[in-house]
Amino acid sequence: MGAVRQDDKLEFFKRPKPPDPRTLDRWKRRLEVLANPDGYILHTTLALSNTKIFYTSEVRDSTKHFLAQFLPSFVLKLEGDWQRSGFLFPHAHLLLPVLPEVRPFLVSLKMSGATTPTLRYKGEALPNPFSLLPDRGPTNVLEYLSSIPDLSGLAPLVNFQESTITTLKNSPSLAKYLGKSTYQGGLSPVIEHGMR
């Protein structure tokens, strides 16, 4: 049985509903846009420290605007998963294209405490996300540090230490996974920027 918030009518489910075919098609298109020629997509799981972004349009708009300052394009998918322990894990899948412009954001996220676990696809380890992004090369320390964005604006919303940075492989199963619905009520679970 999910948790229902009476004030905002937001309900999380134990078992997500399978994706609607139209939703699945939208996810396939999004993943095609984000994937590089080898089919890789950069991905962060942002552990959310509160759920206001699920149902408060002002929080959602400010989050989108904040991320758009540093990222040329992204898709943010909001989810709430029940853990075996019985606790709800509200999080967001932030999907990014494999472009050099996203490297400073990911470096800042890592410096803020996010970890970089290695995921596997069909039994093979996926590459470290930073290995897919060319470094700018030698530069002085001050110039390098000034290129890394300050992510403290996300601190009221994101638990950086519980967040991760990984690489995903574009596949029909990934579209199906992202297309599932884990809550109802509130606003749409997907936030997009620069995807057209």
Whether residue 60 has pLDDT greater than 80? yes
pLDDT-derived band at 19 (thresholds 50, 70, 90) equals confident
Whether residue 4 has pLDDT greater than 50? no
* Percent of the residues in the chain that have a pLDDT greater than 90, as a whole number: 73
Q: What pLDDT digit, counting tens, does each position of 132-190 carry?
A: 998 766 567 777 677 899 999 999 999 999 999 999 999 999 999 999 988 887 799 99
pLDDT at 17: 74
Q: Which residue has the higher pLDDT, 65 or 134?
A: 65
Give the number of other Cβ atoms within 10 Å of residue 180's Cβ. Answer: 18
Whether residue 95 has pLDDT greater than 50? yes
pLDDT-derived band at 37 (thresholds 50, 70, 90) equals very high
pLDDT at 117: 96
pLDDT-derived band at 85 (thresholds 50, 70, 90) equals confident
- Output the pTM of the full model: 0.91
